[in-house]
């Protein structure tokens, strides 16, 4: 029986669940996998933990953990890129396998850490960093890597999906949906990284790395949060047969590769359109497989800990995957060139000639209007919404159109733009 000694750093929600899971499943690991996993050391700045079953040592100085000679694997469930980064480097330098749920760390420091792990022939596991309990990292790595990924589409941020689902399905406002997410623990007290798209674009970069076998520089990934979406846009979407979802997209056209993370209109019968609330989903289209989709809980203590356990089983079974090997130089194209149909919502003073002025500017850009919705006004001199669905056009062209439209005296700024992704 293979015996591995593990140390855990970080004892928040995920860390506590992990302690419970690893202690409860010790016998099962031994009988099913022939691996004896011993949690012998916990790094906790507080110096104490709630779990009374743990019989090992608690170390207040986190950075001393990887120096312990008895430890084979260091597990990092702290988050952020400060102490976690130091911990990762120290662990690998000291010959410890490293397992993390930290998307920011992998997205920002992955290349350097994979190189270090490769040199030392150590495993750097990050299954828990994307999609919580959904085994998407190993699926992309083991299951799909033998054939070229054409595109992936995902809902990777549960908070954003929860808020937009509440708005769409229960007609809530953005503010009340966010409040409900916070009350249920699906959103942090400070939800900035969820709703401004930071969390989703870090995860997008990790999926892109595995999908396209290349080094992904974060600044090449287009990013937009969900915080500008209004109930009005949801309603127009319903009318058009589309749902707004927090989309993560990587698409390889062969000559061009685009990666982005932004709210998008998805046709109502598509897989992603029907994945609601805090659930995550990843749909992958590849050369020989066509589309496969994976959905499940994208966060939470036990789902995330299950993914950490799976990395530990890999290590116990002697599987060291060399991710450094996949870090090929690849070209990611500027999102300015990305072409897709667009939804524009303009708030205009309803005076004669306004539609003509708008249409003229659109025609000058050689863009086609697929649909124009103007509701009857309720009273005179009102500001009313006009929705325009443009056929396929690039970011560059639509952005210059929006600038010109916003100069029209009858049009209020800013104009709302949402991409249709089919």
Q: Of the residues 103, 166, 203, 220, which is catalytic?
A: 203
Q: How far is the CB of 293 from its own copies (least distance, A)?
A: 5
Chosen residue from 238, 319, 375, 403 binding its own copies by CB under 8 A = 319
Chosen residue from 13, 40, 213, 371 binding its own copies by CB under 8 A = 213
Chosen residue from 306, 340, 416, 417 binding its own copies by CB under 8 A = 306
Reference 350, options 329, 332, 368, 376; nearest CA is 376
327 binds its own copies (CB under 8 A): no
Stretch that binds its own copies, among 66-74, 91-99, 290-298, 355-363 (CB under 8 A): 290-298
Alpha-helical regions (H) of 261-300: none
Residue 35: partners with Cβ closer than 8 Å, 6 or more residues away: 1, 2, 3, 4, 29, 312, 313, 316, 317
Calculate the alpha carbon distances from 256 to 85, 207, 250 in Å: 33, 17, 11
155 binds its own copies (CB under 8 A): no
Chosen residue from 303, 327, 343, 419 binding its own copies by CB under 8 A = 303
166 counts as catalytic: no
Q: How far is the CB of 300 from its own copies (least distance, A)?
A: 8
Q: How far is the CB of 322 from its own copies (least distance, A)?
A: 9
In the complex with its own copies, the residue whose CB is nearer, 33 or 193, is: 33
Q: How far is the CB of 290 from its own copies (least distance, A)?
A: 5
Give dist(CA 261, CA 270) in Å, integer.
Answer: 18
68 binds its own copies (CB under 8 A): no
Q: How far is the CB of 32 from its own copies (least distance, A)?
A: 6
Contact letters (x/-) for its own copies, 20-59, by CB under 8 A?
-x---x--xx--xx--------------------------
Chosen residue from 52, 290, 366, 378 binding its own copies by CB under 8 A = 290
In the complex with its own copies, the residue whose CB is nearer, 97 or 342, is: 97
Task: Give helix 83-93 / helix 103-120 axis angle, nearest 10°.
Answer: 10
121 binds its own copies (CB under 8 A): no
Chosen residue from 291, 368, 413, 422 binding its own copies by CB under 8 A = 291
Q: Judge whether 213 and 362 are in contact, CB under 8 Å.
A: no
End-to-end Cα spacing for the chain: 50
With CB under 8 A, what is the number of residues at the site for its own copies? 43
Residue 41: partners with Cβ closer than 8 Å, 6 or more residues away: 5, 6, 7, 8, 56, 57, 58, 59, 65, 68, 70, 71
Stretch that binds its own copies, among 154-162, 188-196, 310-318, 343-351 (CB under 8 A): 310-318
Q: How far is the CB of 3 from its own copies (least distance, A)?
A: 17
In the complex with its own copies, the residue whose CB is nearer, 146 or 171, is: 146
Residue 414: partners with Cβ closer than 8 Å, 6 or more residues away: 406
Stretch that binds its own copies, among 42-50, 298-306, 336-344, 380-388 (CB under 8 A): 298-306
Stretch that binds its own copies, among 110-118, 156-164, 283-291, 396-404 (CB under 8 A): 283-291
Give dist(CA 149, CA 144) in Å, integer.
Answer: 8
242-252/149-155 β-pairing: antiparallel
Give dist(CA 175, CA 42) in Å, integer.
Answer: 39
Q: What letters, b where the CB count within 10 A reaches 16 and e where it falls short, cover 291-327?
A: eeebbbbbbbbebbbbbbbbbbbbbbeeebbebbebb
- Angular region, 226: left φ>0, alpha ψ -120 to 50, beta rest: alpha
In the complex with its own copies, the residue whose CB is nearer, 193 or 302, is: 302
* Residue 112 CA, distance from chain mean position: 21
For the annotated catalytic residues, the residue numbers are 203
Q: Which residues bind its own copies (CB under 8 A)?
A: 21, 25, 28-29, 32-33, 133-135, 138-139, 142-147, 213, 269, 271, 274, 288-297, 300, 302-303, 305-306, 309-310, 313, 317, 319, 325-326
């Amino acid at each position: 029986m293979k015996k591995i000694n593990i140390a855990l750093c970080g004892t928040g929600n995920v860390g506590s669940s992990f302690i419970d899971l690893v202690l409860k499943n010790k016998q099962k690991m031994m009988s099913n996998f022939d691996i004896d996993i011993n949690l012998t050391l916990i790094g906790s700045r507080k110096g104490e933990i709630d779990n009374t079953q743990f019989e090992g040592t608690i170390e207040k100085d986190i950075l001393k953990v990887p120096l312990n000679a008895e430890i084979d694997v260091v597990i990092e469930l702290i988050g952020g890129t400060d102490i976690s980064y130091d911990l990762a480097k120290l662990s690998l330098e000291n010959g410890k396998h490293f397992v993390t749920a930290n998307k920011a760390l992998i997205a920002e420091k992955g290349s350097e850490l994979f190189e270090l792990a490769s040199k030392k022939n150590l495993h750097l596991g990050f299954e828990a960093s994307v999609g919580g309990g959904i085994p998407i990292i190993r699926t992309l790595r083991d299951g799909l890597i033998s054939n070229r990924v054409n595109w992936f589409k995902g809902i990777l941020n549960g908070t954003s999906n929860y808020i937009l689902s509440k708005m769409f399905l229960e007609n809530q406002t953005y503010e009340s949906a966010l409040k409900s997410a916070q009350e249920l623990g699906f959103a942090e007290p400070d939800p900035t990284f969820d709703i401004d798209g930071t969390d989703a674009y870090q995860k997008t970069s990790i999926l892109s790395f595995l999908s396209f076998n290349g080094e992904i520089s974060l600044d090449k990934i287009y990013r937009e949060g969900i915080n500008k979406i209004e109930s009005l846009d949801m309603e127009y979407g319903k009318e058009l047969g589309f749902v707004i979802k927090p989309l993560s997209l990587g698409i390889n056209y062969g000559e061009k590769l685009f990666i982005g993370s932004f709210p998008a209109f998805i046709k109502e019968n598509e897989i992603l359109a029907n994945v609601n609330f805090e659930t995550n989903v990843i749909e992958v289209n590849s050369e020989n497989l066509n589309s496969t989709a994976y959905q499940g809980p994208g966060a939470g203590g036990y789902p995330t800990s299950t993914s950490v356990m799976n990395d530990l089983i890999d290590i116990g079974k002697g599987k060291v995957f060399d991710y450094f090997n996949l870090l090929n130089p690849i070209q990611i194209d500027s999102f300015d060139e990305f072409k897709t149909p667009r939804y524009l919502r303009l708030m205009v003073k309803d005076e004669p000639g306004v539609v003509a002025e708008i249409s003229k500017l659109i025609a000058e850009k050689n863009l086609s209007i697929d649909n124009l919705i103007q509701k009857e006004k309720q009273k005179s001199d009102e500001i009313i919404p006009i929705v325009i669905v443009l056929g396929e056009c690039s970011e560059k062209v639509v952005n210059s159109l929006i600038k010109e439209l916003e100069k029209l005296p009858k049009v209020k700024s800013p104009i709302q733009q949402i991409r249709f992704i089919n």
